[in-house]
């Protein structure tokens, strides 16, 4: 997958569960994927499918209690992040791996200036002195296209607009020249036009710095043109993993397949839009068999009984569906 | 910021006007036969009439209202029934004592309250946290005069470490004088300290749940830095405002504490005035104390603006 | 499309767990027959959460006990709370001296006070005062506060300003001072205590209620209800009330505890229930004077007060946690 370089991040069999009063929530239940240097991977799925928790698990930021990483490895440059002690992993956070979050208003500390917050990781990780750090912070603000950077340095988050705050967050995350950026729904809280700008900014920075980007979103449309690989998650598991074009045009899993057909298109004539009935299952009481089967248009008996394994349906295209192999014919059969 | 201060000032003025009106109202509806209570036994009707005249009790409601109202801006609060002296004079004598006690109490509250709250929140569910939570819960439920008596029982009666009551007699040196302050100040501070600790704890816990704490961690900051730099500054804000409100509770508590400890402050005078149904004294004192309370709250609100940049800068958002 | 299991069988909002952290779910907003649930808890959920909160349950148990004692006081007391042997001409001098300040015995379960009266019986009857003050004062505050809060919040405009400024004036009076001021004018007596505490408390309730209303008013589901043609009253009652009432419930619960404590404070100043009728406040006040000779006495009404007030605090805390959907799901 994504052969732009060597493997930077390898996630193997990650399981993160939350222990609540109502039961154990299997937020991430056996997720594996790789990320190469300079690659942009989009992790896509509905709210609650576990994509954000996956991202937090990588940096071991899952609140504990009630969350706990039960199993799995996260190999970054060969070293398992999950086994690192506190001091070690702090070297990675903000330094080798940067992370930005969904809502820039609540994700920035309201009582400190933007400059102060951007300067912080620089001071800690890069060991520059105050003046140098400030200089660098201002440069970073310019890099993310914030005008009047020097003036903005002294301002507070509430004085920025949504788009600018997100840019500031990006500046903060990239301040120590990390190899990888995790972007958790970076544009969801923003207006549509600003969304596009932010995505472009990330794409540009990625090219300039050969940054690996893990983009988390629920919006398949947003990733078009930016992501190379897509990881589709559902109910805590990976259901499909392939290059983006395959997912869009040649999906081998009913989930993405249905999603693609529920969107109106300018180039195709569609009589009726497909819908996916129902809603995601409870992560405490997962149905047996395939988690998607209650909503699946192709479901058959085997789907309720056995959980489909994640198999390579064609080279470079993984899918967790019993019918992944001959999906096309199966699909045509069913929809006729 | 200026706008904020002006707005608060304007609000304060209106409140003071309201307070003045309310107190004057109360003053005016005192029944006329209070005179009977003032007069010695077997007083003639004439004597009663004299008393009534002296204290304006014979005048119609509106006149009394106006007469009292007039005096307030100059702090002419009338004469006390019991002491037969201007209320303001009596207040002037006793207020400094109360203020001294209140200041010592406030120091205790701020230091111990915030400290206990912070430590409690940081080490959640630990022995210390449980201890603080339980003890503050109990303290908050106790009538303050009982706390005072308990302190006297243990520290003065049983252990004999501190003098049981009274203010330092004139001529006492500073250090031995302190011993007189300790118990009353501690009793006075007890309940408020408990409240502040609880507030601080819940405020800090709430802050720790915020998104920006997660961001701070994701930047690779140590737990210490996250807690003491990022969380604490936010967590202190509501507590600071609370301390202003708390001053009101402190005033009420002072009344009771001063009686227990025989402290010659306004609380003591208020108590006697209440027992004697000395309305000018009571209402005059209440008026002064309320003014003080309002003023302190104003100061606290303004200082709050210094702490929270969102208030300070008026929250003007720019369009990208 | 083959109809296998009905996908809508998996009910939204009911089984969806609320996770700590980034995966917090918003309940879906349903509009069916006027029942809306946005980001609020359903009552059965609330009770369920409350039930599991041990401390809150302890508080509730104590409160129920308190109410039972107050209601059944005549049955529970084994002596006349007002009877004092010192005023009984048939009792000899020696016996009189003996009867005073006795520590607990089989005769007098909690001992006797300085006039030889049975403390236990006085305590039992005194509970009535505490319960009465708690309930009546809070009710008065609620009546006034909810009314004005609703007016201010729902209709806004200059009425809102006037009401809120008036509330500010009341805020300027710390409860004890305000109560003293009012009662000096009205005179002592239990009913005046109700009035004083009740009248002083309306401001906070009005402010809270108004705040809730304001935040709920602008919500989409209210607009939707209005679009469906609901009248003002109906909107307030069915839509705004259930959501705005929650912080009020918590505050009112704590308020009952506060009122009990306020009675104790006022009793110290001689305001409130007048002797020889017992109240926990005036009992405590009396016994304080004996702290050098018989310190055990003051612990009895003192502990009664503390435990009762604590119970309300615990219940209030528990209610607050149960009503706040974000708290769900930890440990």
pLDDT in tens, C25-66: 222 232 322 333 333 446 677 777 778 788 889 999 999 999
C288 vs B294: CB contact, 8 Å cut-off? no
End-to-end CA gap in chain C: 42
pLDDT tier, C8 (very low <50, low <70, confident <90, very high otherwise): very low
Structure tokens at A319: 């899918």
Mean pLDDT computed over every residue of chain B = 82
Write down which chains contact chain C via at least 3 CB pairs under 8 A.
A, B
Distance from the A197 Cα atom to the nearest Cα atom in chain B, whole angstroms: 12
Would the pLDDT of C330 be above 70? no
Structure tokens at B7: 């707005």
Q: Which of C222, C306, C325 is nearest to C257 (CA)?
A: C306
Nearest to C185 among B30, B289, B290 (CB): B30
Q: Which of B250, B252, B268 is nearest to B260 (CA)?
A: B268
B143 vs C284: CB contact, 8 Å cut-off? yes
Degrees to nearest 5, angle at CA B241 with B239 and B245: 105
Nearest to B290 among C173, C281, C291 (CB): C173
Residues in A touching C23 (Cβ below 8 Å): 27, 47-48, 50, 52-53
Q: Distance between CA B54 and CA B79 in Å, rounded?
A: 10
Q: Is A35 within a domain?
A: yes
**pLDDT at residue B139, rounded to an integer:** 92
Distance from the C283 Cα atom to the nearest Cα atom in chain B, whole angstroms: 12
Residues in C touching B157 (Cβ below 8 Å): 291-292
Q: Which of B18-32, B148-162, B267-281, C51-65 has the lowest mean pLDDT?
A: B18-32
Would the pLDDT of C201 be above 60? yes
Q: Distance between CA B244 and CA C97 in Å, rounded?
A: 51
Residues in A touching B308 (Cβ below 8 Å): 110-111
Residues 257-276 of B with CB under 8 A from C: 259-260, 270-271, 273-275
A299 vs C22: CB contact, 8 Å cut-off? no
Of B271-275, C99-103, C303-307, C320-324, which has the strongest mean pLDDT? C303-307
ipTM over 0.95: no
**pLDDT at residue C14, rounded to an integer:** 31
pLDDT in tens, A66-104: 888 889 999 998 889 999 888 999 999 989 999 999 888
Decide which of A273 and A58 is more confident.
A58
Q: Distance between CA A75 and CA B148 in Å, rounded?
A: 62
A266 CB within 8 Å of a chain B CB: no
Average pLDDT over residues C279-285: 92
Phi, psi values for residue A313, rounded to 5°: -70, -35
Q: Is A156 within a domain?
A: no
Structure tokens at C4: 């296998």
Alpha-carbon Rg for chain C in angstroms: 25
Q: Which of B143, B245, B280 to mutate to test the interface with C (most CBs of C within 10 A)?
A: B143
Mean pLDDT computed over every residue of chain C = 76
pLDDT tier, A48 (very low <50, low <70, confident <90, very high otherwise): confident
* DSSP β-bridge partners for residue A29: A15
**pLDDT at residue B317, rounded to an integer:** 44
Structure tokens at C75: 């049955």
B219 vs A120: CB contact, 8 Å cut-off? yes
B279 vs C184: CB contact, 8 Å cut-off? yes
Residues in A touching C7 (Cβ below 8 Å): 277-279, 294-295
3-state secondary structure of A36: strand
C7 CB within 8 Å of a chain A CB: yes
C302 vs B29: CB contact, 8 Å cut-off? no
Question: For residue A41, what is the domain's CATH number?
Answer: 3.40.50.300
End-to-end CA gap in chain B: 23
Degrees to nearest 5, angle at CA A217 with A286 and A259: 65
**pLDDT at residue C28, rounded to an integer:** 28
Q: Which of A217-221, B81-85, C118-122, C283-287 has the lowest mean pLDDT?
A: B81-85
Nearest to A277 among C8, C17, C20 (CB): C8
A90 vs B211: CB contact, 8 Å cut-off? no
3-state SS string for chain B: CHHHHHHHHHHHHHHHHHHHHHHHHHHHCCCCCHHHHHCCCCCCHHHHHHHHHHCCCCCCHHHHHHHHHHHHHHCCCCECCCCCCEHHHHHHHHHHHHHHHHHHHHHHHHHHHHHHHHHHHHCCCCHHHHHHHHHHHHHHCCCHHHHHHHHHHHHHHHCCCCCCCCCCCCCCCHHHHHHHHHHHHHHHHHHHHHHHHHHHHHHHHHHHCCHHHHHHHHCCCCHHHHHHHHHHHHHHHHHHHHHHHHHHHHHHHHHHHHHHCCCCCHHHHHHHHHHCCCHHHHHHHHHHHHHHHHHHHHHHHHHHHHHCHHHHCCCCCCCC
pLDDT in tens, B199-226: 899 899 889 889 999 999 999 898 888 8
Would the pLDDT of B287 be above 60? yes
B177 CB within 8 Å of a chain C CB: no
Nearest to A48 among C9, C10, C25 (CB): C25
Would the pLDDT of B156 be above 90? no
**pLDDT at residue B77, rounded to an integer:** 73
B214 vs A61: CB contact, 8 Å cut-off? yes
Residues in C touching A283 (Cβ below 8 Å): 17
pLDDT tier, A310 (very low <50, low <70, confident <90, very high otherwise): confident
Q: Distance between CA A167 and CA B320 in Å, rounded?
A: 11
Distance from the C37 Cα atom to the nearest Cα atom in chain A, whole angstroms: 18
Decide which of B309 and C304 is more confident.
C304
Nearest to C331 among A65, A102, A282 (CB): A65
pLDDT tier, A108 (very low <50, low <70, confident <90, very high otherwise): very high
* DSSP β-bridge partners for residue A16: A28, A69
pLDDT tier, A318 (very low <50, low <70, confident <90, very high otherwise): confident
Structure tokens at C2: 């083959």
pLDDT tier, A179 (very low <50, low <70, confident <90, very high otherwise): very high
C329 vs A66: CB contact, 8 Å cut-off? yes
Would the pLDDT of B64 be above 90? no
Helices A162-173 & B211-218, crossing angle to 10 degrees? 30
Would the pLDDT of A190 be above 70? yes
Residues 30-89 of B with CB under 8 A from C: 30
C331 CB within 8 Å of a chain B CB: no
Q: Which stretches does DSSP call E strand in A146-249?
A: 180-184, 212-217, 229-234, 237-243
Total domains, chain A? 1
Distance from the C289 Cα atom to the nearest Cα atom in chain A, whole angstroms: 51
C189 CB within 8 Å of a chain B CB: no
The superfamily in CATH containing domain C43-327 is MetI-like (1.10.3720.10)
Q: Which of A81, A104, A159, A164 to mutate to test the interface with B (most CBs of B within 10 A)?
A: A159
Decide which of B128 and A220 is more confident.
B128
CB atoms within 10 A of CB B153: 16
C288 vs B23: CB contact, 8 Å cut-off? no
- Contact status, residue B143 vs residue C268, Cβ threshold 8 Å: yes
Helices B144-151 & B174-208, crossing angle to 10 degrees? 130
pLDDT tier, C184 (very low <50, low <70, confident <90, very high otherwise): confident
Residues in A touching C10 (Cβ below 8 Å): 278-279, 281-282, 294
Parallel/antiparallel/unpaired status of strands A180-184 and A212-217: parallel
The owner of tokens 């649930």 is: C37
**pLDDT at residue C102, rounded to an integer:** 79
Q: Is A214 within a domain?
A: no
Residues in C touching B251 (Cβ below 8 Å): 174, 176-177
C330 CB within 8 Å of a chain A CB: yes
pLDDT tier, C9 (very low <50, low <70, confident <90, very high otherwise): very low
Distance from the A11 Cα atom to the nearest Cα atom in chain C, whole angstroms: 20
Residues in B touching A123 (Cβ below 8 Å): none
Would the pLDDT of B290 be above 90? no
Decide which of C328 and B51 is more confident.
B51
pLDDT in tens, C285-300: 999 888 888 888 889 9
The owner of tokens 């800690």 is: A124
Q: Is A179 within a domain?
A: no
In C, minimum Cα distance to B250 occurs at C174
Parallel/antiparallel/unpaired status of strands A67-76 and A79-80: antiparallel
Under 8 Å CB pairs connecting chains B and C tally to 129
Residues 129-158 of C with CB under 8 A from B: none
pLDDT in tens, B80-124: 777 778 888 888 888 888 888 888 899 999 999 999 999 998 887
Residues in B touching A111 (Cβ below 8 Å): 233-234, 237, 307-309
In A, minimum Cα distance to C330 occurs at A20
Query: Domain limits at A328?
Result: 1-83+232-336
Distance from the B47 Cα atom to the nearest Cα atom in chain C, whole angstroms: 23
Distance from the B58 Cα atom to the nearest Cα atom in chain C, whole angstroms: 16
């Amino acid at each position: 997958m994504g052969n732009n370089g060597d493997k930077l991040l390898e996630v193997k069999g990650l399981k993160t569960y939350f222990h609540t009063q109502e039961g154990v929530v299997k937020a991430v239940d056996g997720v594996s994927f790789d990320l190469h240097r300079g690659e942009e991977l989009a992790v896509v799925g509905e709210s609650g499918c576990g994509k954000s928790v996956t991202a937090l698990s990588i940096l071991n930021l899952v609140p504990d209690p009630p969350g706990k990483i039960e199993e799995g490895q996260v190999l970054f440059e060969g070293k398992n992040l999950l086994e690192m002690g506190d001091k070690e992993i702090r070297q990675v956070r903000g330094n080798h791996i940067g992370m930005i979050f969904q809502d820039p208003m609540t994700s920035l500390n309201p009582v400190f200036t933007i400059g102060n917050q951007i300067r912080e990781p620089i001071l800690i990780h890069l060991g520059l002195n105050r003046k140098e750090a400030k200089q660098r912070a201002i440069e970073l603000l310019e890099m993310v296209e914030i005008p009047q950077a020097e003036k903005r340095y002294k301002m507070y988050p509430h004085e920025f607009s949504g788009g600018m705050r997100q840019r500031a967050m990006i500046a903060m995350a990239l301040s120590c020249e990390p190899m990888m950026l995790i972007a958790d729904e970076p544009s969801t809280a923003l207006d549509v036009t600003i969304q596009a700008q932010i995505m472009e900014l990330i794409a540009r920075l990625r090219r300039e710095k050969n940054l690996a980007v893990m983009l988390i979103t629920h919006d398949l449309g947003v990733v078009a043109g930016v992501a190379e690989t897509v990881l589709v998650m559902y109910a805590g598991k990976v259901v499909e993993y392939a290059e983006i074009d395959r997912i869009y045009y040649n999906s081998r899993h009913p989930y993405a397949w249905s999603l693609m057909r529920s969107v109106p298109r300018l180039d195709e004539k569609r009589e009726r839009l497909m819908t996916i009935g129902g809603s995601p299952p409870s992560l405490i009481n997962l149905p047996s068999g395939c988690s998607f089967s209650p909503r699946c248009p192709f479901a058959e008996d085997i789907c309720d009984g056995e959980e489909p394994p994640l198999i390579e349906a064609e080279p470079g295209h993984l899918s967790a569906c019993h019918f992944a192999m001959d999906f096309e014919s199966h699909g045509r059969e069913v929809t006729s | 910021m200026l706008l904020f201060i002006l707005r608060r000032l304007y609000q304060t003025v209106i409140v003071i006007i309201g307070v003045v009106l309310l107190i004057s109202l109360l003053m005016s509806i005192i029944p006329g036969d209070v005179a009977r209570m003032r007069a010695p036994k077997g007083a003639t009707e004439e004597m009663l009439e004299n008393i009534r005249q002296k204290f304006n009790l014979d005048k119609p409601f509106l006149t009394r209202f106006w007469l009292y109202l007039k005096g307030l801006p100059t702090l002419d609060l009338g004469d006390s029934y019991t002491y037969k002296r201007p209320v303001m004079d009596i207040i002037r004598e006793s207020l400094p004592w109360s203020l001294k006690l209140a200041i010592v109490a406030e120091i205790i509250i701020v230091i111990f309250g915030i400290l206990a709250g912070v430590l409690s929140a940081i080490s959640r569910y630990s022995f210390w946290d449980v201890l603080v939570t339980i003890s503050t819960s109990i303290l908050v439920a106790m009538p303050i005069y009982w706390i005072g008596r308990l302190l006297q029982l243990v520290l003065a009666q049983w252990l004999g470490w501190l003098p049981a009551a009274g203010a330092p007699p004139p001529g006492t040196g500073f250090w031995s004088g302190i011993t007189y302050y300790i118990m009353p100040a501690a009793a006075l501070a007890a309940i408020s300290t408990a409240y502040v600790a609880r507030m601080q704890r819940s405020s800090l816990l709430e802050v720790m749940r915020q998104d920006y704490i997660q961001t701070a961690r994701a930047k690779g900051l140590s737990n210490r830095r996250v807690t003491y730099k990022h969380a604490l500054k936010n967590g202190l804000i509501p507590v600071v405002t609370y301390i202003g409100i708390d001053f009101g509770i402190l005033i009420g508590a002072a009344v009771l504490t001063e009686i227990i400890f025989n402290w010659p402050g306004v609380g003591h005078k208020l108590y006697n005035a209440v027992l004697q149904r000395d309305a000018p004294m009571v209402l005059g004192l209440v008026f002064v104390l309320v003014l003080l309370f309002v003023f302190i709250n104003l100061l606290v609100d303004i200082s709050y603006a210094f702490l929270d940049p969102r208030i300070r800068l008026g929250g003007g958002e720019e369009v990208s | 499309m083959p109809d296998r299991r009905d996908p809508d069988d998996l009910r939204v909002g009911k089984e969806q767990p609320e996770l700590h952290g980034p995966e917090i779910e918003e309940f879906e907003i349903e509009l069916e027959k006027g029942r809306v649930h946005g980001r609020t808890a359903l009552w059965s959920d609330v009770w369920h959460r409350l039930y599991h909160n041990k401390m809150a349950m302890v508080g509730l148990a104590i409160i129920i006990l308190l109410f039972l004692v107050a209601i059944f006081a005549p049955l529970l007391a084994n002596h006349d709370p007002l009877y004092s042997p010192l005023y009984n001409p048939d009792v000899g001098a020696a016996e009189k001296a003996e009867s005073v300040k006795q520590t607990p015995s089989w005769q007098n379960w909690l001992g006797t006070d300085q006039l030889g009266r049975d403390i236990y019986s006085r305590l039992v009857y005194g509970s009535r005062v505490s319960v009465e003050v708690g309930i009546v004062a809070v009710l008065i505050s609620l009546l006034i506060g909810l009314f004005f809060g609703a007016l201010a919040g729902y209709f806004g405009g200059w009425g809102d300003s006037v009401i809120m400024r008036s509330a500010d004036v009341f805020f300027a009076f710390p409860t004890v001072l305000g109560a003293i001021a009012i009662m000096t004018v009205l005179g002592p007596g239990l009913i005046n205590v109700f009035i004083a505490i009740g009248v002083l408390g309306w401001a906070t309730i009005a402010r809270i209620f108004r705040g809730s209303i304001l935040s709920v008013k602008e919500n989409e589901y209210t607009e939707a209800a209005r679009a469906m043609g609901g009248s003002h009253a109906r909107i307030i009652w069915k839509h705004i009330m259930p959501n705005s009432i929650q912080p009020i419930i918590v505050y009112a619960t704590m308020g009952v505890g506060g009122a009990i404590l306020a009675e104790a404070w006022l009793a110290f100043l001689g305001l409130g229930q007048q002797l020889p009728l017992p109240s926990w406040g005036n009992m405590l006040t009396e016994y304080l004077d004996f702290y050098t000779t018989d310190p055990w006495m003051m612990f009895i009404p003192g502990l009664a007060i503390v435990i009762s007030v604590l119970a309300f605090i615990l219940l209030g805390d528990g209610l607050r946690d149960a009503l706040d959907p974000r708290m769900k799901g930890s440990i």
